[in-house]
């Protein structure tokens, strides 16, 4: 009986638990960024057409994000929160090892999109997005390497849905004050009804 229990324990530790740990390691290796959403201070999305910059408002009592470029206004919190979720949960489908001279084959010599994230501690991460793969399901991308540049480059394949999140028009990032506008319209309509008709 003791031998059987010991055998079961051995199988669990070295087979089942070992497999779980290996899976966790593999999933962690697929993670693109290693920071939490609360650490993010500024997000900049650079495209050929325009550059959008979002900044957390640390002085506001409630959680608030502002657009500081190309215009200055409040950002829609739900839209920014969705972006933060995408960033902190972003995983690559797989990676390709290539050389600097071959970056143009993936559209990364002149990236279509540059995503720049600045943390509260001043650290900055940049992610470059190039062209889609032959199926159109994934986007070739590259994290800006830390330290001295290497001859070997790791090209990451990210879901095309992530690119769609980044390429929203600026108007979709703006906070919509529809409730205030509706209230003003209602009050204006009420005032008109209350005004007495003047005799001709």
pLDDT digits (tens, 9 = 90+) for 68-86: 999 999 999 999 999 999 9
Which residues is 91 bridged to in the sheet? 31
pLDDT tens digits, one per residue of 128-180:
999 999 888 999 999 988 766 667 889 999 999 999 999 999 999 999 876 54
Rounded CA-CA distance 103/128 in Å is 11
User: For the residues 39-58, what does the mean pLDDT come to?
Assistant: 94
Rounded CA-CA distance 11/19 in Å is 11
pLDDT tens digits, one per residue of 92-105:
988 989 888 888 99
Could you tell me which of 115, 118, 117 has the C-alpha nearest to residue 129? 115
Q: How far is CA 199 from the centre of its chain?
A: 62
Could you tell me which of 117, 58, 123 has the C-alpha nearest to residue 90? 117
pLDDT at res. 8: 73
């Amino acid at each position: 009986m003791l031998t059987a229990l010991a055998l079961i324990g051995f199988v669990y530790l070295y087979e089942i638990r070992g497999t779980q740990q290996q899976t966790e390691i593999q999933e962690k290796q697929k993670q693109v960024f290693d920071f939490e959403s609360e650490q993010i201070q500024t997000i900049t999305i650079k495209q050929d057409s325009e550059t959008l910059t979002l900044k957390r408002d640390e002085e506001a009592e409630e959680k608030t994000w502002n657009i500081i470029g190309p215009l200055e206004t409040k950002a829609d919190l739900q839209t920014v929160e969705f972006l933060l979720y995408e960033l902190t949960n972003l995983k690559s489908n797989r990676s390709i090892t290539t050389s600097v001279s071959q970056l143009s084959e993936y559209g990364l010599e002149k990236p279509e999109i540059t995503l720049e994230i600045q943390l509260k501690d001043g650290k900055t991460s940049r992610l470059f997005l190039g062209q889609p793969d032959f199926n159109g399901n994934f986007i070739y991308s590259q994290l800006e390497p830390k330290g001295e540049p290497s001859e070997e480059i790791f090209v990451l394949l990210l879901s095309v849905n992530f690119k769609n999140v980044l390429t929203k028009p600026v108007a979709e990032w703006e906070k919509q004050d529809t409730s205030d506008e509706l209230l003003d319209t209602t009050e204006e309509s009420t005032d008109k009804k209350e005004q007495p008709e003047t005799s001709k």
